[in-house]
Amino acid sequence: MNRFSALGLIFLISSLFGCTQAAQDVHETRFLLGTLVEFTIHTKDEKTALKAISKAAQVMQQVEDTFTTYGDVDNTVKQFNQADVAQAVRLAPEVDKLLLQSISVHQQSHAAFDPTLGVLNKLWGFSGEHLSKKPPTGAQIQQALAQSGVQNIQKTEQGWVKKVQGLALDFGAIAKGYAIDQGIQVFKQYGFTQAIINAGGDMRILGQHGDKPWRIAIRHPRQSQALGWVQVEHDTSIVTSGDYERFYIYQGQRYHHILNPDTGKPAKRSQSVTVIAPTATLADAWSTALFVLGSEQGLKVLKKQKGLSVLWVNADASLSQTHDFQMRDLAHKTE
């Protein structure tokens, strides 16, 4: 074989294996889980990537339908919420699993995370279509607190039962993370190894972005400019809970959607909390729990909690973090 035909053969082989075509970002955005969800797969195979994104979006919509307490769709969470005291309700297997995981975070977070705040959340009215503009009264808050509490639900052989009338489950602080995990699972099943799902700032990433780690900006809770950014790679999640997502100002005071189960009022110790964890489910639940706890208590709780890297913007705008949280400032662009 002469030199030219050898070169031709190499060219042919590399074309057959698709090596000449560079990998690119295949990108789609959908409205899901009450937010814009961005799907990105870094690949040479655009056609399969688009299929995987459609499937992931479908799976995430199913998660939303399974957990939502809003809209017309029927699900076992609503059935439980409408049930009477002592009436057993069989929750869908996914709901059962996430409730047990929520109870575990509840226990580990000294009750800062609470999946039974359905009545209180609706009373504050941050999640419905119309945002409230005025806080509820102390008496209304006490009544809603009496209809909550993990000690007031129980798993029996016939299903889950509530011990107080009206108690309602709410997975608002964990279901979005779970949905992201399910979407990433679909990407893995399709064989993709470089991808990201970003649901309104809550995300899970796979692999790297080309040959570099993914770079994720962290939102500043009070300014439009980012607070900084982090590098993440392999299979990791990064989720932020903030008091700027859904809030109103009443008589000069900020009221927002992350509630302290102790007081029944918006949690006051943090402006935002960012958690890096192996799954988006864990990162989502813990970002809410650690927001409520604040950095002082939160750092104590984290001594027993492995695998979470955390950054707080405290109520006074100072920063606290676990030692392994490596935030880079905006000027620090290359690495």
Chain positions contacting ligand ADP, by CB under 6 A: 113-115, 117, 121, 126-127, 170, 172-173, 176, 202, 241, 245, 257-259, 261, 284, 287-288, 292
SS3 at position 334: coil
Instruction: Tell me whether residue 149 or residue 228 sits nearer to ligand ADP (CB atom).
Output: 149
Q: Please, how many CA atoms are within 13 Å of residue 251, restricted to the half-sphere of its CB? A: 2
Name, in order, each residue with C-beta under 8 angstroms of 33's C-beta and a sequence gap of 6 or more: 60, 63, 64, 175, 176, 179, 199, 200
**Applying CB under 5 A, does 121 fall inside the site for Mg ion?**
no
Contact of residue 121 among Mg ion, ligand ADP, none (CB under 5-8 Å per partner type): ligand ADP
Q: List phi, psi (to 5°) of 324.
A: -90, 5
Instruction: Tell me whether residue 52 or residue 285 sits nearer to ligand ADP (CB atom).
Output: 285
Instruction: Tell me whether residue 55 or residue 246 sits nearer to ligand ADP (CB atom).
Output: 246
Please tell me the distance from the alpha carbon of residue 134 to that of residue 248, in angstroms, as a whole number.
Answer: 8
Q: State in angstroms the smallest separation of the CB of 189 from Mg ion.
A: 26
Residue 166's Cα: distance from chain center in Å? 27
Tokens representing 41 are 């797969």
SS3 at position 305: coil
Tokens representing 6 are 């050898």
**Cα torsion angle, 268, 197, 62, 275, sign:** negative
Alpha carbon distances (Å) from 272 to 237, 312, 314: 16, 6, 7
SS3 at position 15: helix
User: Which residue minimizes CB distance to ligand ADP?
Assistant: 172
Instruction: Tell me whether residue 181 or residue 202 sits nearer to ligand ADP (CB atom).
Output: 202
Instruction: Tell me whether residue 272 or residue 287 sits nearer to Mg ion (CB atom).
Output: 287
Residue from 83, 98, 120, 173 touching Mg ion (CB under 5 A): that is: 173
Instruction: Tell me whether residue 41 or residue 98 sits nearer to Mg ion (CB atom).
Output: 98
Q: State in angstroms the smallest separation of the CB of 288 from ligand ADP.
A: 4
Q: State in angstroms the smallest separation of the CB of 317 from Mg ion.
A: 21
**Applying CB under 5 A, does 198 fall inside the site for Mg ion?**
no
SS3 at position 240: strand
Contact of residue 259 among ligand ADP, Mg ion, none (CB under 5-8 Å per partner type): ligand ADP
Q: Which of residues 260-299 bind Mg ion (CB under 5 A)?
A: 284, 287-288
Contact of residue 64 among Mg ion, ligand ADP, none (CB under 5-8 Å per partner type): none
